[in-house]
Amino acid sequence: MASSDWIEVQRLAAEFQRAQLSSALQKLSERNCIEIVSKLIDLKLIDVFYTNDGKEYVTLEQLSREICDELYLHGGRISLTELVPILNISYHAIESRAQNISQTKPEIHLVSGQLIDDDHLDRIAEEINENLQQTGQITVVDLTKQYELPMEFILQQIRKRLGTIIQGQQDKYDHHVFFTEGFLARNRARIRGALSAITVPTSVSAIIAQNKLPERLFFAVADELITTKRIQASLSGGRQATVATFIPDVHSRSQNEWIDNFLKQNGYLEYAALTRLGLGDPKSFCRKRFRETPLLYLSSCCVGSYILQQIEAAVEEALVSQSWVDVLPLLPSVFDEEDAEQIIQHVLKNSQNLPGKDALVIGHSAVTSNAFVQNLKLVFKPMIEEKASEVVASGDYLQSLADQRNAKEKSFKPEQSNEKKDRKDERRKKANEGKLGGGTQGRETKTRATKKKYQKGKNDSDDEGEEEFVGGSSSASTELQFMSLDEISNVLRKQESLSDAPDEFVEDIARRLYPSLQSSFQEAARLAFEAVLSATSGQRRQTHSELQNKVQLLLQNIKQGEKAIQFFTSLEVQQQLSRHLLKTVGSELVNELVSYVSQDTNVANDSKDLSPEARQKIINGLPQNIRAPLQGLHKASQGAIVEEFLSEADVALAACDVVLRKADKKKDKTIPIQQRHVLIEQLSAAQDAALVLHVAVLLLFHTVTQTVLNASGRFVPQIISFLQLHLPQSIGELLSELQGLVIQELTSKGDEELLEAVRQKMENLIPRVREAAVAYKKSIATTQE
């Protein structure tokens, strides 16, 4: 160095020393420093973190450097929670800088709250490689437990170093398994040797256990050996050692030959036999082996077309000849009843030659035709007629009718008492509202309970159907029986066509015939009974039949009227309508019975149109056994409880020997239509405005509720109030307008000019009301809602 340069250095050193030794003219206080830093932070000129004690500031870059220094000092792996006390910085600040570091420096990773650098991962990879070379195989699951790192992270780092630091390869079937070439070669040789020595089907689990082979590697190597034809065999049962089976081709060839020959010679294959041959899933094997062969797969075996054609021919012959056939004896002994039933169903469904609709499957394996069963029914026809005549002649039939009637009454009364008990508090409360109100409410409660009970059977709207259901179970027990099942079976066994039939077949036929025979017997007994009555008294029978029809129609009208009354929510209106119904239709029914009985007992009676006083006088002159029931019915007709009247009517009808026929559902379905036509005819014929309004509201009520309301003209306002809730506004306004005009006409008789104007409006309004009442239609379902 030149002397001049050295002199300059010395001079500068001296100046620097003087600057260091000299004191500053001004010093900043700690408070000034804090304010300056705070101002810089507010102006966002600097970004700093406070230490946990708040005494120091740390810049972002300084914190990142300190974190990297600590990572280096801890061997390339440190947890963020460990850095908090070391750096005296909050976890949030450390975490944000750690994320920044991992993003800016690819060699550092943030994993599960830890910072790890590539040097540390390389050391882990070296350990993994050392372990892999020693054991020959490692799994990512074990490494995850050992190094406490996520499985996917370890898998990613191993793949990155595979072939460099880690000398091995990844299992292509299980990506979480790695092994060495030597391990693979050793196990491939062991697996190849083990499989080459096997000549019979062997469970894979047994092969693995005996040779201590890794299960994952076994399937990969076995598939490779089979694919390359190094091993002539196949694997069945999937890739699970517990269910998979190794089958050598030498065994498969002999096995397949035996199966093919057996199917060709016998026409079927039994699953149990295939299982004994070593097949784990016989049905799947057959579907795969005989993919092009049409087979029917049953529960215990599969059947070829030869056997199916035999069964089809037998069934066809039985149906054509109107006989029967049991197919089970026609099948090999390995077939059970379930197999036979499946074969029959298949044949009936798929055959083009069989009249399948006429076929009946009896039991599990027998087939016959409906014609055959109907022909057997003809055998019993003489017996039915003979026994029907016997029960009528002996009086058993008449006693049966009485028993059925009594059974209905007994079954009805307990149900009634139960409903009364269930609503005891409600009835007691409403009974305090008044004598008449309490009676009406009591009737309403019983009516609802009765309807609910009837609805348990068939949802018939006819009243006779309801009565029939109430006594259904009791009637079945009191009905005269034609024959028991055993007796029917004994008669059938004597028939030549069933002489060699099994007992189960005959008993099944008997069960099928029993309801039909019983019904035919009841009908024959009824006809015989009516014939006897006709022979003894033709005129009385005619009168009695007319009475039955009339009473049945009146009872139906009462029940329909009661249903209609239930649509009104006011108890007072219900009571008034019920009283009107009994006073009109109920009184007519009582008059019919009183007139009929008075003629039969020779009591003077000039007319059926009787006043209550005249009716009471005739009843007083009747015999005691008839007088008491009719007296109760007469009293009920003067009240307002419809259910009480119906109950008294049942007793009176029984006393008068009036038996109501079963409901004719087809005929009953036409009753609402007939009732509507009657109302329409009345509406068309009516000219008076009040009458037009009366009939129109009744017709609209019928359309809305599908019931017929028996009501006089004084109930028109209440009916209109009900209809306005269910009709379009336009129709409701028409009815209200006509109602107002009718009232105005009645109250304005002194003013002729006003009356003329009112009548002119009514003349213009009546056609519109007629048209609206007739044209309006509403579905029953909508009405019920």
Q: Per residue in 319-353, pLDDT tens? A: 888 888 888 888 888 888 888 888 888 888 877 66
Give yes or no: residues 341 and 253 share one domain. Answer: no
Query: Which of residues 219 and 122 earns the better pLDDT score?
Result: 122
- 116 pLDDT band, cuts 50/70/90, is very high
Identify whether 556 is part of a domain: yes
- Give the global pTM: 0.38
Q: Is the predicted pLDDT of residue 542 greater than 70, yes or no? A: no
Identify whether 5 is part of a domain: no
Q: What is the mean pLDDT of residues 195-210?
A: 83
Identify whether 214 is part of a domain: yes
Percent of the chain beyond pLDDT 70? 83
Instruction: Tell me the per-residue pLDDT of 706-733, one tens digit each, with 9 for 90 and over.
Output: 888 888 888 888 888 888 888 888 888 8
Identify whether 39 is part of a domain: no
Q: Given this model, what pLDDT does residue 455 score?
A: 38
Tell me which of 370, 394, 416 is where a domain ends.
Answer: 370
Whether the CB-CB separation of 266 and 332 falls below 8 Å is answered with yes
Give yes or no: residues 588 and 691 share one domain. Answer: no
Cα–Cα distance, 158 to 152 (Å, whole number): 10
Give yes or no: residues 580 and 644 share one domain. Answer: yes
Give yes or no: residues 654 and 640 share one domain. Answer: yes
The CB density around residue 598, as the number of other CB atoms within 10 Å, is: 21
Instruction: Tell me the per-residue pLDDT of 641-680, one tens digit each, with 9 for 90 and over.
Output: 888 888 888 888 888 877 777 766 666 667 777 778 888 8
Give yes or no: residues 548 and 651 share one domain. Answer: yes
Q: What is the mean pLDDT of residues 272-299?
A: 85
Whether the CB-CB separation of 619 and 601 falls below 8 Å is answered with no
Instruction: Tell me the per-residue pLDDT of 738-758, one tens digit each, with 9 for 90 and over.
Output: 888 888 888 877 677 888 888
Q: Is the predicted pLDDT of residue 434 greater than 60, yes or no? A: no
Structural domain harbouring 549: 537-663
Give yes or no: residues 254 and 207 share one domain. Answer: yes
Q: What is the mean pLDDT of residues 576-582?
A: 86
Give yes or no: residues 671 and 571 share one domain. Answer: no
The CB density around residue 301, as the number of other CB atoms within 10 Å, is: 24
Identify whether 526 is part of a domain: no
Give yes or no: residues 231 and 310 share one domain. Answer: no
Q: What is the mean pLDDT of residues 430-441?
A: 39
Identify whether 404 is part of a domain: no
Cα–Cα distance, 782 to 705 (Å, whole number): 10
Cα separations in angstroms, 185 against 211, 221, 233: 15, 10, 21
Identify whether 26 is part of a domain: no
Give yes or no: residues 673 and 716 share one domain. Answer: yes
Cα–Cα distance, 167 to 705 (Å, whole number): 89
Average pLDDT, whole number, for the chain?
A: 78
Identify whether 128 is part of a domain: no
Give yes or no: residues 547 and 603 share one domain. Answer: yes
Whether the CB-CB separation of 367 and 361 falls below 8 Å is answered with yes
Give yes or no: residues 650 and 676 share one domain. Answer: no
221: domain CATH number is 1.10.10
Structurally, the chain folds into a number of domains equal to: 4
At which residue do the structure tokens 């030794």 appear? 21
Write down the number of H helices and E strands in the chain: 37, 17
Tell me which of 370, 401, 435 is where a domain ends.
Answer: 370
Give yes or no: residues 616 and 715 share one domain. Answer: no
Tell me which of 370, 398, 423 is where a domain ends.
Answer: 370
